[in-house]
Chains A and B, each alone.
Chain A
Amino acid sequence: MEFLADIKNLMLPEATILIGALLLCILAISYPQSKKTAFITTLIILITSMALCFQLDTATVVMTFGGSFLISKFTVFFKELILFGTILTVFLSDKYLNKIQKTASEFYMFLLVAILGALILVSSRDFITMLVSLETLSISGYILSGFLKEKQSQESMLKYLILGCVASAVMLYGISLLYGISGSLRFETIYLATKNHQLFNVAALAGLFVLSGLCFKLATIPFYNWAPDVYQNSPLSVAAFLSTVSKIAGFGIIIRLISELFSGIWVLYLVVGIIALASMSIGNFLGLGENNIKRLMAYSSIAHAGYILSVLCLGSTLSLSAAVFYIITYLFMNFAAWSCIELLDNSSETSIEDFQGLAYKRPYLATAIVISFASLAGLPVFVGFFSKFYLFQSIAFAGFLLYPFLFFVLANSLVAIYYYLKVIKVMFDEDVEFDKEIFLGKKFAAVFFVSVLFTLFAGIFSAPIITYSQQIAQSQIPAVIEYESIEGTFFDNPQPAK
């Protein structure tokens, strides 16, 4: 009975989502034409996030199922972020599902199953739990991305699936090596085993495989090239989901792995740094020549994942809080940009040329696009400027040795400006008359206004958000200290001399 009590007390949000998904499954069979599914889905997610709120005040870290599931302030925060992103996704999907006349319940069911995987993934403290939840998230992701049942969509889905399998295989290989070292799949046992210096090399190799596999979720080097195709050919809301919510779950687990499991293996920090630099360069340079807006967003999201990883490799609490702040702002900026694109057109062939003349027909929409893309580019006074600044600040505070690294990241943000401005530039073309119909639904307007207003104003009022992300970052430490008293190597903030 202890098992059931644990579920009731600690896995209530996940259980709610699971029950909700089953409910939608029944609904899909019995009432295929129901119009209320979006509402029900939203309701389920809201109930879940309320259930999560009960866990918010857990001051200490709680573990359950023999230590394979962890609840801390940090994981609860990531779960709330995931749920919020999912609500935005649901609102974004509504208009599109109405248009293609498909059974919506099915779509929402897979969405819920996907976030069930995401929620457990963030909390997992055991490689089996992690793998199962990761696959739950991925497989639902494959289905969602192939939801259009068109030839191109199927093709990109297949690409996504195959690459996903390869990534999982790579990760499994790493996990098996870790199992060989420690004889356990628990994070803490593996951590203690890998502290042994004789096993350092093997552990580093295994960690490299595990991280590479997870990079598939983040769409960074080495598994990045599914992103442009999948974003282009899947439903837009799914692309938005994959580029934000699914990535946030990936960041959640990667942060926990880096700080809890691999905190003693410095080589992996270097690896993360290299992955970060390579991803942002690849994303930005491929973005330069891209004209398809959805593919451009894919490259942009590859680059942004690189920025976030670039602070994670520093390993200090300061850099972690910068990453958390960046993730929060990235969620809103990205949804702002995606909803602007959705408003315009929703075909896989939408090129940035389709924006021509928009600014003179629809000045307010154009302003929103300028806000969201300028924010992604990191121009003031939008939120992207502040999160980029905090990111650069935390790199600079890691010491002067990292200044070449800082310059590389800075140079990347210069390159990125070009393609974001390209989108803005096209809207102000006068040669072509913009003649598309634009329809702003109610739910859609909610996403649109929330994300655009956040992007516009959150930077100016960023003090509380930064303070909050610092608290979140600090709350990640006890989970590590739990194992054993760790020498404060990687969690030392830069301290003044006195």
Chain B
Amino acid sequence: MNLLSLMTLLIIPLVASVAIALFADGEVAIRRVAKFIAGIHFVYSLFFILYLNPNNGTSQVVQEMLNAGKTWINPLGISFSLALDGVSMGMVVLTTFITLLAIIASKSNITHKHKFYYSLIFLLEFAVLGVFLARDLFLFFMFWELELIPMYFLISIWGTGRPKYSAMKFVLYTFFGSLFMLAAILAVYYVHFMQTGTLTMDMGLLGLYNGYPALVQFFAFIGFFIGFAVKFPIVPLHNWLPDAHVDAPTPISMLLAGILLKMGAYGLIRINMFFFPSIFNFFVPVIFTLGIINILYAAMIAYAQTDLKKLIAYSSISHMGIILVGLCAMNSIGVSGAVMQMIAHGLISAGLFMAVGVIYLRTKTRDIEKLGGLAQKLPFLYYLSMILALASIGLPGLIGFVGEALCFFGASVSDAFPKIQIFVAIALLGIIFGAVYITSIIKRVFCGVMLDDYNEIEPIRTHELVVLLSLVILVVAFGIFPSFLTDIFSLPIDSFFSA
């Protein structure tokens, strides 16, 4: 029996979830157990980096099958197979890390029904990990849908404002997208069966097969794209996100921005790009335009917001747009940049949501008009959020810069379509917009005159500091040494583009 098994990696959160739901008792104990398991799980997931073969991009796949028969639902050609390559590696570690931080951050945010809460957090982690590890399309889709159940409860029970409305909106939007995705999955599965006679859902086989008729590729691409665009979110389908973020509690916002949005981006790379590269190429102008709209439109809306959390939510949409730009480059620099930006955005937006949560707990308001001068009372928070905000703008030396620079550089040297540089120039405007609204909120929240009401607010607590500090350290460290990260995920991308 292998100590490093993907099945174990996947199953730990599920076991934790069931165990906490059935046996755990007492608030402090539950939180301690949850923290312990999440910590162990994070460390365990790190070991898989050693498992990746650094020399050979193609054989990086570590495959695990549930049974000796390697199948799960045999009559439908569905197997329980998991795989891990560089791209999913980055996402897996991000998931375990952000989950750990979210659990630490829950201490001050979650005041009731602890058992249920931590159980659901682990269930969510299980589902998200499943999406990143699945090698079978059915499994991928199942985990994709499974994630809705814990998320629905996490928003609707522990949320504020009108959580039930937002949670329902979130579920219906995602489900709407998954319908298109399911239709696309069935189309690919059907065509592959009809042409080869093999009934399989294996992503390796389906992805490498190149006999799909052009029309099937075209529509399957659109189906998958809509499914992922909802989660991404790409602009006409983004409406669920501000509501979900504003009404979710802080740790859930961190998870939502940190890892759930990445599922959409991951799907775009894993399926839309790797399955249908020629159709992706065909759609590059459309996707690039959508990316520009994402960046500029969301940035403009963000500037008009007075609710701090809503502002971060829109800035999050804006920064996800940069990933689209990176993908549209259709070269290894751009796509590596997109993955880098995914990780960067995961760390930065989780940190910013945490900072907003810390402020909200003390001031009981997220209205920017009512805040000001908090730097006097919360100096550490000021410094840390300043670094995160600067990383979000893309200051060199911080992780945000690496992602954005690679994306834009990749796109500008790309030959995906003529005169792509003009598009890149327009998209770059988003950086300026970003700088405008991010610096302005930092100024309005932390600088200026402080209201008298806030004289008595308590200083930042240890666990909040731990969360923010660990994020900031990573943001700085990977900003200075980005090759630690790029080494992990660049191999499968390089080998894809050289093939």
**A63 on interface, CB distance cutoff 8 Å:** no
Which chain B positions have C-beta within 8 A of A390?
76
Which chain B positions have C-beta within 8 A of A425?
156, 164, 168
What distance in Å separates the Cβ of A381 from its nearest Cβ neighbour in chain B? Answer: 6
In the bound complex, how far is the Cα of B187 from the Cα of A360, in angstroms? 43
Which chain A positions have C-beta within 8 A of B175?
414, 417
Q: Which of B113, B146, B179 contacts A410 (CB 8 A)?
A: B179
**A449 on interface, CB distance cutoff 8 Å:** no
Interface-lining segment among A104-112, A333-341, A463-471 = A463-471
Which chain B positions have C-beta within 8 A of A466?
73, 75-76
Which chain A positions have C-beta within 8 A of B236?
none
Count of A-B contacts with CB under 8 A? 87
In the complex, how many residues of chain A place their beta carbon closer than 8 angstroms to a beta carbon of chain B? 36
Q: Which of B345-399 contact A (CB under 8 A)?
A: none
Q: Are A470 and B75 in contact (CB under 8 A)?
A: yes
Q: Which of A386, A393, A418, A498 contacts B186 (CB 8 A)?
A: A393
Interface-lining segment among A201-209, A308-316, A395-403 = A395-403
Q: A410-B179, A496-B197 are in contact. Are A428 and B153 (CB under 8 A)?
A: yes
Q: Which of A363, A397, A413 contacts B190 (CB 8 A)?
A: A397
CB-nearest residue of chain A relative to B197?
Answer: A496
CB-nearest residue of chain A relative to B77?
Answer: A393
**A389 on interface, CB distance cutoff 8 Å:** yes
Digitize B113-138: 1 where CB-to-A-CB distance is under 8 Å, 0 elsewhere.
10010000000000000000000001
Q: A392-B186, A497-B194 are in contact. Are A374 and B168 (CB under 8 A)?
A: no
Which chain B positions have C-beta within 8 A of A421?
152, 168, 171
What distance in Å separates the Cβ of A458 from its nearest Cβ neighbour in chain B? Answer: 12
In the bound complex, how far is the Cα of B199 from the Cα of A390, in angstroms? 13
What distance in Å separates the Cβ of A369 from its nearest Cβ neighbour in chain B? Answer: 13
Q: Which of B297-330 contact A (CB under 8 A)?
A: none
**A285 on interface, CB distance cutoff 8 Å:** no
**A462 on interface, CB distance cutoff 8 Å:** yes
Digitize B190-230: 1 where CB-to-A-CB distance is under 8 Å, 0 elsewhere.
10011111000000000000000000100000000000000
In the bound complex, how far is the Cα of B194 from the Cα of A141, in angstroms? 46
What distance in Å separates the Cβ of B143 from its nearest Cβ neighbour in chain A? Answer: 8
In the bound complex, how far is the Cα of B171 from the Cα of A389, in angstroms? 19
In the bound complex, how far is the Cα of B83 from the Cα of A340, in angstroms? 39
Q: A396-B183, A396-B187 are in contact. Are A389 and B149 (CB under 8 A)?
A: no
**B182 on interface, CB distance cutoff 8 Å:** yes
Q: Are A496 and B157 in contact (CB under 8 A)?
A: no
Q: A418-B168, A418-B172, A421-B168 are in contact. Are A380 and B186 (CB under 8 A)?
A: no
**B74 on interface, CB distance cutoff 8 Å:** yes
Which chain A positions have C-beta within 8 A of B113?
360
Q: Which of B148, B187, B195 contacts A496 (CB 8 A)?
A: B195
Q: Which of A48-64 contact B (CB under 8 A)?
A: none
**B145 on interface, CB distance cutoff 8 Å:** yes
In the bound complex, how far is the Cα of B201 from the Cα of A393, in angstroms? 12
In the bound complex, how far is the Cα of B190 from the Cα of A392, in angstroms? 11
Q: B residues engaging A (CB < 8 A)?
A: 71-76, 113, 116, 138, 142-143, 145-146, 148-149, 152-153, 156-157, 164, 168, 171-172, 175-176, 179, 182-183, 186-187, 189-190, 193-197, 216
Closest 7 CB pairs of A and B: A496-B197, A396-B186, A410-B179, A466-B75, A380-B142, A380-B146, A463-B73
Q: A residues engaging B (CB < 8 A)?
A: 360, 363, 374, 379-381, 385-386, 389-390, 392-393, 396-397, 400, 403, 406-407, 410-411, 413-414, 417-418, 421, 425, 428, 462-463, 466-467, 470, 494, 496-498
Q: List 28 A-B contacts (CB under 8 A).
A: A374-B149, A379-B149, A381-B146, A386-B73, A389-B182, A392-B186, A393-B186, A396-B183, A396-B186, A397-B186, A400-B187, A403-B183, A406-B183, A407-B183, A410-B179, A410-B183, A414-B176, A414-B179, A417-B171, A417-B175, A418-B172, A421-B168, A425-B168, A463-B71, A463-B73, A463-B74, A496-B194, A498-B197
Known: A421-B168, A498-B197. 20 other contacts (CB 8 A): A363-B116, A379-B146, A380-B143, A380-B145, A381-B142, A392-B186, A397-B186, A413-B179, A414-B176, A417-B172, A418-B168, A421-B152, A425-B164, A428-B157, A463-B71, A463-B72, A463-B75, A466-B75, A494-B193, A496-B197
